[in-house]
Amino acid sequence: MAAALNRATFFAALRAKPFGGSLSQGQVTGMGILLDACPPLLGTDALAYCLATAFHETARTMLPVKEYGGDAYYRRMYDPQGDRPAVAKALGNTVPGDGVKFCGRGYVQLTGRSNYRRATGELQTLGYLDRTMDLTATPDMAMVPDIAAAIMFIGMSEGWFTGRKLSQYFGSGAPIPVGARAIINGTDKAGVIAGYFSSFRAALVAARHIPGGIVEAIPVPPVTVTQLPAPTPAPAAPAAPSRPREPLPPASAAPTGFWGTLADRLRTAFPIKKV
């Protein structure tokens, strides 16, 4: 859990803007998952921008989604035999069918074999996944909210997607929310997402967000693998190609506690397949 805040106040502030007057249970559940998964020391501005990004990339559902478009679109955009072989190569998609298999998923539309490989290595190293769990073998694990949240927060903090990091835009000086869109997708919808950032920041401030504190939680229904919602189309604009990088060596010990329980759940829902 990331921070002390009054969730009732937080949701009340967001209900009017940017959610247009009402919140669904799915939206409340999704935001609760993100607040629980937020790194402990992430600042208010950076957290607000992550939430704004999730709001945009998930078409306001606040739950992980699969990229809009369908298999023909994925093949055309990301497959080595599609219309953009150079993009496919940059994404690490070298095998026919990779465009469909490694289409965008999650809170920030993780895309491409290299990025699924990198996310696997990073999350294993940090103890979020154990060594038997591989997103390149079972890419739909990127749709599990807890995993998708870890990918978003760690990826945006460490610059997985374009090389740009949260710290470059939300540090000791004034926040730069318009420029921060470069963390995910160049300048696409930068001004719109900056507007969402303002709403989420105002809600966090009203709820007295304190990095490193203890969350004053309102119970939300747990999301299990069997309760995952059907994929919801995300905004049609595809994410910019991410910079591929080989994964770090996996952690030597299996995760315990919450993440160990999640690992057991995932192994049951997504049997390991060799690729």
Per-domain boundaries in the chain: 3-67+104-269
Q: What is the structure's pLDDT at 225?
A: 36
Instruction: Tell me if 7 sits within 8 A of 216, measured CB to CB.
Output: yes
**CB-CB contact of 115 with 241 (8 Å):** no
Residue 9 is encoded by which pair of tokens?
């106040």
Distance CA 275, CA 136 (A): 8
Residue ranges for the chain with pLDDT beneath 70? 1-4, 212-275
For 103-142, give the DSSP string: --EETTTB-SHHHHHHHHHHHHHTTSS-TT--TTT-GGGG
* Rounded distance between C-alpha atoms, residue 119 and residue 249, angstroms: 12
Helix (H) or strand (E) holding 195: helix 190-206
pLDDT of 5? 85
- The pLDDT score that the predictor gives to residue 208 is 92
User: To which H or E segment does residue 152 belong?
Assistant: helix 145-158
- Rounded to 10 degrees, the C-alpha dihedral 209/110/188/10 comes to -20
Q: For residues 138 and 6, give the distance between their C-alpha atoms in angstroms, rounded to a whole number.
A: 37
The per-residue pLDDT for 41 is: 86
